């Protein structure tokens, strides 16, 4: 009963219902949408955004943002293929990808946490710096299928029990990080920091250290997600990952990770990613011009924010009325 | 009772000769404070006397430059907020410091989540919170979010937080500033219980009447130093005020003989569903007209409606014989009404903007040529007002947020007085400001009234209402309960009316 009540109150529920609605209605209009291939298409497309959205959730709940992940994930995917083709093996490439992610996340985190620079600006700068270095490094080269480590290619091509491995990796990550966000003390601190930064300091939370760590983790996730991206596309070039950070942030916002910090879950962000991908596919399946897809997703972001605003004001007025004794 | 016990035991906390400066500004010169277990200790002083700095040193926000602090006989470690909490100090700040997106249970245990096998134990935290809330005599749902709960309940959660750390020293910085009298009573009961259980409670308040009702002992600070320590039972309000300001404040309410003139503002049968109903009154030139009542009785709502910020359902407002249109604050201003709002930080000032700009903002029309604001005129206008108001500032180009609360309030008053209104509306004009500035604000209001301005004052402080008003309009739950002339107004009568009784005059 109590579990039922908290489920109904969960911010993730409307996202889930919207997803069911989109998939159901499209399925009625175009039954191939609901076929195994159709569903797989959605799940395959969602994996990268979902994994990046997990890291981004850590950052957004602290009332920060990380725009650099698109450049990072692209660069990382290129590095893994490039280093493999030069004989450094899979692990050499993964180590380099992780290293770049941690380095960029660390620089972002240091500037935001200790020098108190706004994360929007810092990570916007990092977006361009990393993309610039990436372009210079790639210098017109592309990573072709032959340069992709076979293990990486394998995760992009195979399924377990009919479900794409890429999606399962994302799902496992969501389960693990969802648990961490709920049950680990230092992860709870991230919510406190985003909810009321000044009070977090007063409560003795090591705010700067937490902010720094969260950016490093997000960078690390983006670096490792490079492997997922390479596995998915089996290729990479200097434009890999371009503008994907915006899709990631959209997924978070639609999934109820409020940009004002303090609330939201990785499960919400995950559902948000699936919903956006579902709508993209649905619009294709319904034969609606592609142009509408972006407009629709944009509208959904605004709707999500309006909804959160409505929720928070509704909570406020009910309690004020309830406790007013004038 | 506490005080008797305290003479025979050792203090739980001693702070001796604490000094602290920020850059070139000295905040603490020679501050001392000692606390005994089982006492409620008032820390008094004007704004800027150093109370906050002293308490923040204890909270671990600031580190003292010199001085000795010991807690239960051991040297106090000034490491940071976490260290202070771990040593048993809990501070309940004036500004709410809860986390609106987190549940009440998590708010109680924030930063110190209860763990089981290394993982956050939600059910244990919720059970313990309920137990703490019960101990404090309230029923709150530990699973509900902190967003939107009343300030009184926020304080209860903060106190529960203090109890959960087994704090031996609990500091409350102006806890009653935003509470209704019923909520103040509940808070006092809780604080007395804390005393019974052996905590040392520091109580900071600008309301001396509360201090005399609640506290056992007091420490008075002035200009960064401790200037007096005494048993509450061995002192009196005038004596305390004298210690605080360092001079005799013979008249806290310098009321001048009013020159009552013609009716300037007429309110007839004003109603707004759910807020107030059938409100009628006249205000005359030269009169100070007070709207009294408990918090939530609809006083602020009426003035917001008559000024035009909110719409009303029915009724009329007439200014100088002409009907005032509803919902048009710009017209109200043009026709000579000024409203000094209650919440100066949010509604009254541009905090990051200069003092000069803030004072001049209501006169932009006069100070503009074409699209350009005449900077020099702005400066000189502001300077004239700063002198009239006896404002204490370093430079007129400093942001307003750097001023003390009392001086900020003077800036708000100044910018509205500069428009030379015929009707001045002030909502809680002296909330949270020190005694000295209070008297100056009162003097100013009294002067302006004598010069023919009609003043409508909303105030929760009875002494202020009694000391300043020519007539008192008492409200309860959105309705008029009775009007008292100055000679008939007594605390008892106002409270009786405000709580639903009747009085015969």
Q: Last residue of some domain: B245, B274, B294?
A: B245
**Is B418 a member of any domain?**
yes
pLDDT at A305 over 50: yes
What is the pLDDT at residue A326?
27
- Tell me, what CATH number does B480's domain have? 3.40.50.300
Nearest-angstrom CA–CA distance, B63 and B246: 28
Running along chain B, 505 residues long, what does each successive block of 10 average in pLDDT? Answer: 53 94 79 95 84 92 93 91 92 85 95 93 96 88 88 88 90 83 87 92 88 94 91 88 67 76 93 90 94 83 92 92 91 90 71 80 69 73 78 78 78 83 90 75 88 91 85 91 90 81 76
- Residue A315: how many CB atoms within 10 A of its CB? 17
Nearest-angstrom CA–CA distance, B108 and A192: 12
* Chains A & B: contacts with CB separation below 8 Å: 100
Which of A185, A262, A318 has the CB atom closest to B99's CB atom?
A262
Q: By C-alpha distance, which of A171, A148, A173, A140 is closest to A230?
A: A148
**Is B476 a member of any domain?**
yes
Residue B192: C-alpha distances to residues B26, B40, B137, B150 (Å) = 35, 8, 12, 21
Whether residues B39 and B145 share a domain: the answer is yes
The residue of A185, A194, A197 whose CB has the most chain B CBs within 10 angstroms, and thus the best one to mutate to test that interface, is A185
What single DSSP character describes residue B382? H
Burial of B404 (0-12, 13-18, 19+ CB in 10 A): middle
ipTM above 0.85, yes or no: yes
Q: Would the CB atoms of A317 and B82 count as touching at under 8 Å?
A: no
Q: Is the sign of the CA dihedral B149, B120, B170, A191 positive or negative?
A: negative
Domain that holds residue B402: 263-498
Q: Would the CB atoms of A262 and B115 count as touching at under 8 Å?
A: no
Whether residues B241 and B328 share a domain: the answer is no
What is the pLDDT at residue B2?
42
Q: Is the sign of the CA dihedral A17, A20, A24, A30 positive or negative?
A: positive
**Is B196 a member of any domain?**
yes
Give the pair of three-digit tokens for residue B243.
Answer: 């210690």
> Residue B95: which region, alpha, beta or left (left: phi > 0; alpha: psi -120 to 50)?
beta
What is the pLDDT at residue A11?
76
Residues of A with Cβ-Cβ distance to B97 under 8 angstroms: 196, 198-199, 202-203
What is the pLDDT at residue A7?
62
Nearest-angstrom CA–CA distance, A126 and A120: 10
Q: Would the CB atoms of A262 and B102 count as touching at under 8 Å?
A: yes
**First-to-last C-alpha distance (Å) of chain A:** 35
Residue A119: C-alpha distances to residues A63, A267, B407 (Å) = 9, 24, 35
Q: Does A173 touch chain B (CB under 8 A)?
A: no
The residues facing B14 across adjacent strands are B34, B70
The residues facing B173 across adjacent strands are B204
Query: Going by C-beta distance under 8 Å and a sequence separation of 6 or more, which residues neighbour residue B74?
Result: none
Give the pair of three-digit tokens for residue B397.
Answer: 């180009």
Whether residues B271 and B240 share a domain: the answer is no
pLDDT at A317 over 50: no
What is the pLDDT at residue A195?
94
Q: How far is B120 from chain A (nearest CA, A)?
A: 5
Q: How far is A157 from chain B (nearest CA, A)?
A: 37
Q: How far is A201 from chain B (nearest CA, A)?
A: 7
Whether residues B115 and B239 share a domain: the answer is yes
**Is B254 a member of any domain?**
no
Which of A183, A204, A324 has the CB atom closest to B111's CB atom?
A204
Whether residues B410 and B454 share a domain: the answer is yes
What is the pLDDT at residue A5?
60
Which of A192, A261, A319 has the CB atom closest to B110's CB atom?
A192
Q: Does A203 touch chain B (CB under 8 A)?
A: yes
Nearest-angstrom CA–CA distance, B207 and B205: 5
Q: Would the CB atoms of A202 and B93 count as touching at under 8 Å?
A: yes
Nearest-angstrom CA–CA distance, B103 and B209: 35
Whether residues B145 and B55 share a domain: the answer is yes
Whether residues B279 and B237 share a domain: the answer is no
Which one has a higher pLDDT value, A84 or A295? A84
Q: Last residue of some domain: B192, B218, B245?
A: B245
Nearest-angstrom CA–CA distance, B340 and B425: 6
Q: How far is B335 from chain A (nearest CA, A)?
A: 32
Phi, psi of A130 (to 5 degrees): -65, -40
What is the pLDDT at residue B400?
80
Whether residues B42 and B170 share a domain: the answer is yes
Which of A205, A261, A318 has the CB atom closest to B111's CB atom?
A205
**Is B250 a member of any domain?**
no
Q: Last residue of some domain: B177, B210, B245?
A: B245
Whether residues B297 and B179 share a domain: the answer is no
Whether residues B119 and B217 share a domain: the answer is yes
**Is B227 a member of any domain?**
yes
Nearest-angstrom CA–CA distance, B275 and B303: 12
The DSSP result for A66-122, as a single string, is -TTHHHHHHHHHHHHHHHHHTT-HHHHHHHHHHHHHHHHHHHHHHHHHTS---HHHH
pTM here is: 0.74
**Is B160 a member of any domain?**
yes
When pLDDT is averaged across residues A56-79 and rounded to a whole number, the result is: 97
**Is B455 a member of any domain?**
yes
Whether residues B315 and B225 share a domain: the answer is no
Q: Does A196 touch chain B (CB under 8 A)?
A: yes
Whether residues B114 and B72 share a domain: the answer is yes
Query: Going by C-beta distance under 8 Å and a sequence separation of 6 or more, which residues neighbour residue B8?
Result: none
Please state the domain count of chain B: 2
Domains by residue range for chain A, with CATH: 2-28+46-314 (1.10.3470)
Residues of A with Cβ-Cβ distance to B111 under 8 angstroms: 189, 192, 203-205
What is the pLDDT at residue B252?
65
pLDDT at A204 over 70: yes
């Amino acid at each position: 009963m109590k579990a039922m009540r908290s489920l109904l109150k969960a911010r993730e529920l409307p996202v889930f219902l919207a997803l069911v609605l989109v998939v159901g209605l499209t399925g009625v209009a175009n039954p191939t949408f609901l076929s195994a291939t159709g569903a797989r298409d959605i799940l395959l497309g969602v994996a990268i955004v979902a994994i990046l959205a997990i890291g981004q959730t850590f950052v957004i709940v602290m009332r920060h943002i990380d725009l650099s992940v698109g450049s990072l994930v692209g660069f990382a995917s290129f590095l893994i293929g490039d280093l493999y083709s030069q004989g450094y093996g899979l692990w050499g490439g993964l180590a380099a990808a992780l290293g770049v992610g941690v380095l960029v996340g660390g620089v972002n985190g240091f500037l935001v946490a200790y020098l108190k620079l706004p994360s929007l600006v810092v990570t916007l700068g990092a977006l361009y710096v990393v993309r610039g270095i990436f372009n210079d490094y790639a210098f017109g080269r592309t990573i072709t299928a032959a340069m992709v480590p076979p293990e990486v290619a394998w995760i992009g091509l195979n399924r377990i029990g009919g479900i794409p491995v890429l999606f399962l990796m994302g799902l496992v990550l969501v389960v693990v990080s969802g648990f961490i966000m709920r049950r680990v003390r230092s992860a709870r601190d991230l919510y406190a920091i985003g909810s009321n930064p000044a009070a977090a300091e007063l409560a003795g939370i090591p705010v700067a250290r937490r902010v720094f760590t969260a950016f490093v983790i997000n960078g690390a996730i983006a670096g490792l997600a490079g492997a997922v991206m390479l596995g998915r596309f089996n290729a990479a070039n200097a434009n890999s990952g371009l503008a994907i950070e915006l899709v990631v942030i959209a997924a978070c916002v639609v999934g109820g990770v409020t940009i004002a910090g303090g609330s939201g879950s990785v499960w919400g962000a995950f559902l948000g990613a699936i919903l956006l991908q579902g709508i993209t596919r649905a619009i294709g399946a319904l034969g609606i011009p592609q142009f509408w897809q972006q407009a629709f997703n944009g509208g959904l972001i605004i709707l999500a924010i309006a909804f959160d605003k409505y929720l928070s004001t509704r909570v406020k007025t009910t309690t004020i009325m309830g406790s007013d004794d004038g | 009772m506490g005080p008797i016990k305290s003479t025979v035991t050792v203090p739980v906390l001693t702070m001796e000769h604490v000094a602290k400066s920020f850059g070139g500004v000295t905040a603490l010169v020679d501050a001392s404070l000692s606390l005994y277990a089982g006492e409620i200790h008032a820390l008094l002083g004007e704004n800027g006397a150093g109370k906050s700095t002293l308490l923040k040193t204890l909270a671990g926000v600031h580190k003292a430059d010199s001085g000795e602090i010991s807690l239960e006989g051991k040297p106090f470690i000034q490491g940071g907020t976490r260290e202070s909490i771990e040593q048993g100090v809990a501070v309940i700040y004036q500004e709410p410091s809860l986390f609106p997106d987190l549940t009440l249970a998590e708010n109680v245990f924030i930063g110190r989540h209860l763990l089981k096998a290394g993982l956050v134990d939600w059910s244990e935290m919720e059970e313990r919170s309920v137990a703490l809330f019960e101990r404090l005599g309230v029923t709150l749902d530990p699973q509900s979010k902190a967003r939107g709960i009343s300030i009184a309940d926020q304080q209860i959660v903060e106190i529960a937080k203090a109890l959960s750390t087994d704090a031996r020293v609990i500091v409350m910085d102006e806890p009653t500033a935003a509470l209704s009298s019923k909520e103040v009573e509940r808070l006092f009961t809780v604080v007395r219980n804390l005393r019974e259980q052996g905590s040392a409670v520091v109580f900071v308040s600008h309301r001396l009447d509360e201090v005399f009702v609640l506290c056992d002992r007091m420490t008075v600070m002035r200009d960064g130093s401790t200037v007096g320590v005494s048993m509450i039972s061995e002192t009196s309000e005038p004596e305390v005020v004298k210690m605080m300001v360092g001079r005799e404040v013979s008249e806290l309410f310098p009321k001048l003989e009013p020159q009552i003139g013609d009716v300037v503002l007429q309110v007839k049968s004003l109603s707004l569903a759910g807020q107030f109903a059938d409100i009628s009154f006249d205000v005359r030139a030269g009169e100070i007209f007070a709207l009294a009542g408990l918090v939530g009785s609809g006083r602020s709502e009426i003035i917001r409606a008559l000024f035009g910020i909110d719409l009303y359902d029915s009724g009329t407002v007439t200014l100088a014989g002409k009907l005032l249109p509803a919902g048009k604050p710009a017209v109200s201003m043009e026709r000579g009404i000024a409203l000094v709002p209650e919440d100066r930080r949010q509604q009254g000032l541009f905090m990051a903007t200069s003092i000069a700009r803030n004072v001049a903002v209501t006169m932009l029309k006069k100070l503009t040529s074409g699209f350009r604001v005449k900077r020099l005129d702005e400066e000189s206008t502001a300077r004239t007002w700063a002198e009239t108001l006896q404002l204490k500032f370093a430079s007129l180009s400093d942001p307003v947020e750097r001023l003390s609360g009392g001086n900020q309030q003077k800036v708000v008053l100044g910018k509205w007085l500069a428009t030379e209104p015929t009707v001045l509306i002030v909502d809680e004009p002296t909330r949270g400001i020190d005694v000295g500035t209070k008297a100056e604000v009162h003097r100013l209001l009294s002067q302006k009234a004598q010069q023919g301005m009609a003043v409508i004052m909303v105030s929760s402080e009875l002494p202020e209402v009694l000391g300043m008003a020519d007539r008192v309009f008492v409200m309860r739950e959105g309705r008029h309960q009775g009007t008292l002339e100055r000679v008939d107004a007594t605390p008892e009568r106002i409270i009786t009316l405000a709580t639903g009784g009747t009085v015969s005059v």
